[in-house]
Amino acid sequence: MTTEELYQELNYVNHSREKRLHYANLVLEKPTLITSLLDILFQVDDKISCRAAWVFEFMCGERLEAAIPHLDQFTMCIHKVHLDPAVRPIAKVCEYLVHAHYSKEHNAMHSALLSRHKERIVESCFDWLIGDHKIAPKAYAMNCLFLLGRDYDWVHPELVLILERDYQMQSSGFKARARHILKKIKSK
């Protein structure tokens, strides 16, 4: 399947879990399609890119290690994503990557997620946190930044500053997650 054919197939992806999972499995069965999926995903002004993001999120949810050969491409381009329906799944993938990296269970992400990848994720997470985004990407960003603060001493103080500064102006969902993260940081 070519990139153009995959692009056409993504027209059939909708919000249903069934469709997203179907196309995620299609990509997992043919790993050469992952590059094409990411190429489409990072055509950030095209609405189809959101559908590619949904499929990539489900793919990572099913088999995260399939993303390892594409970490450079993914982390170099995540900051470009700006459409709300695409930002949420991209932030979720970042959370998958970071959680796997810091997991106590041995997995390939421990050695695959390099400093350069983590630094790009930190940058994007702070952008999502301070930007005009919905609660989901902000919540995923908080989780990522909390974990990444283990490797970067400056992250937790910055995260606390932003969460405390923005607390009163944000939604109840933001406040709940912020309280949880602040409590975890202060207990360290």
Residue type, 95: E
CATH code: domain 3-186 is 1.25.10.10
User: Own/partner pairs for 24-32, CB < 8 Å, 24+ apart?
Assistant: 24/55, 24/56, 24/58, 24/59, 24/61, 24/62, 25/62, 27/55, 27/56, 27/59, 28/59, 28/62, 28/63, 28/66, 30/1, 31/66
pTM score, two decimals? 0.93
Instruction: Encode pLDDT of 135-179 as tens digits.
Output: 999 999 999 999 999 999 999 999 999 999 888 888 888 889 999
* Helix ranges restricted to H, the chain: 3-9, 17-29, 33-41, 48-62, 71-77, 84-102, 109-112, 115-130, 135-148, 155-166, 172-186
Contact (CB, 8 A) for 11 and 21: no
The residue type at 18: E
E-strand ranges in the chain read none
Q: What is the pLDDT of residues 38-74, one digit of tens each?
A: 999 999 999 999 999 999 999 999 999 999 999 999 9
| Contact assessment for residue 134 and residue 124, using Cβ atoms and an 8 Å cutoff | no
- What's the CA gap between 100 and 83, in Å, rounded? 26
Q: How far apart are CA 120 and CA 64, in angstroms?
A: 18
- Cα–Cα distance between 42 and 80 in angstroms, integer? 7
pLDDT in tens, 80-138: 999 999 999 999 999 999 999 999 998 999 999 999 999 999 999 999 999 989 999 99
Q: ∠128-15-71 over CA atoms, to 5°?
A: 45
- The confidence score (pLDDT) of residue 50 equals 95
Domain coordinates in residue numbering, the chain: 3-186
23-38 mean pLDDT: 94
Closest to 96 in 3D by CA, of 106, 109, 115, 105? 109
- Cβ atoms of residues 75 and 116 within 8 Å: yes
User: How far apart (Å, rounded) are the C-alpha atoms in residues 146 and 59?
Assistant: 24
At position 63, the amino acid (one-letter code) is: R
The pLDDT, as a whole number, for residue 148 is 97
